[in-house]
Amino acid sequence: MKKIIVPVDFSQHSEYALKTAALLANKHNATVYALHMLDIQEVSLTESQINQQEKTMYFLKLAEQKFKDFLEKEYLEDVNVVPVIKHYKVFSEVNSIAKEVDADLIIMGSHGATGLKEFFVGSNTEKVVRNVDLPVLVIKNEMTNVDFADIVVATDFSDESVPAFKKMLKSLEFLNAKKHLLYVNLPNEDFKTTSEMETMANDFLIKVEGNSHRLINVNYVCARSIENGILNFSNALGADLISVITHGRKGLSHIFAGSVAEDLTNHSTLPIMTLKI
């Protein structure tokens, strides 16, 4: 864990993410890239090019000063912080920056989203989760430490998720925590018997690691939704973090199929780490 990206919009929740990044950076000697994405509204087509450039430079200077002030925090004094400002707000740009600096992790603060806003718009955090190829750690509350002891790793044991699951396990290694693998059994056409779930888990772990040693840490719960199963198990366990693979669905497929990762991001009070297949 050497490079962490933190998108910053000057909100309280982005400061939660920045504080968490500082804690991890101090613990692992990592560099924090604080990223601000300028949301400059499109200027009038009737304006001259010179006026457009002047407006852009004005907003850039304003953002740079605000960014500088925001980063003058006591908890960042011993942290190597690299400020990054982009001129436009495109969430796929976060992925480009992550590849450019060879980042290991993105940390974002989120207050979630509810109701029609959640259904039609979603949060900025969701947009990043859908667009990036590396792990995203979503922080919902202020963190005072990053001593994660118990992590719930939710999985569906599918062949499609094997590469991402391998990457997720590797991404979680730096936390040095106990990993509780979880499968949620639903009361529908996908319902599995105990022996069927155990066979799925065994075959999956053989494909992931070449052995089934982790079976001792595999848990099965029955619930009416995957989200409820994960949240109820995690709360009962007293977990510190929930880790989940996401398909990163977009457009109509997202509306009709939904995303467990985004539902958890919106509704869990625990930190969530996501990784896109």
Which pLDDT belongs to residue 55?
A: 72
Highest mean pLDDT among 37-41, 62-66, 100-104, 131-135: 100-104
Edge-first strand order for the sheet with 105-109 is 80-86, 31-37, 3-7, 105-109, 136-139, 272-276, 241-246, 150-154, 178-185, 218-222
Which pLDDT belongs to residue 34?
A: 94
In the chain, the domains with their CATH numbers are 1-144 (3.40.50.620), 147-277 (3.40.50.620)
Q: Is residue 126 predicted with pLDDT exceeding 70?
A: no
Which pLDDT belongs to residue 36?
A: 87
Asked if residue 244 lies in contact with residue 272, where contact means CB atoms within 8 angstroms, the answer is yes
Token output for 142:
């202020």
Torsion of the alpha carbons at 153, 158, 160 and 166, rounded to the nearest 10: 40
Q: Is residue 254 predicted with pLDDT exceeding 70?
A: no
pLDDT per residue over 64-115, tens digit each?
888 888 999 999 999 999 998 886 666 667 888 888 999 999 999 887 554 4
Taking all residues of the chain, what is their mean pLDDT, rounded to a whole number?
Answer: 84
* Helix, strand, coil fractions of the chain, as percent rounded to 5: 50, 20, 30
Asked if residue 18 lies in contact with residue 67, where contact means CB atoms within 8 angstroms, the answer is no
Which pLDDT belongs to residue 96?
A: 85
Q: Where is pLDDT greater, at 63 or 118?
A: 63
- % the chain with pLDDT above 90: 52
Pick the range with the lowest mean pLDDT from 88-92, 161-165, 272-276.
Answer: 88-92
- Which sign does the torsion angle of CA 214, 2, 23, 62 carry? negative
Which pLDDT belongs to residue 58?
A: 78
Dist. CA 244–CA 111, nearest whole Å: 19
Cα separation values, 270 from 31, 105, 112, 118, 239, Å: 24, 18, 12, 19, 8
pLDDT per residue over 192-206, tens digit each?
999 999 999 999 999
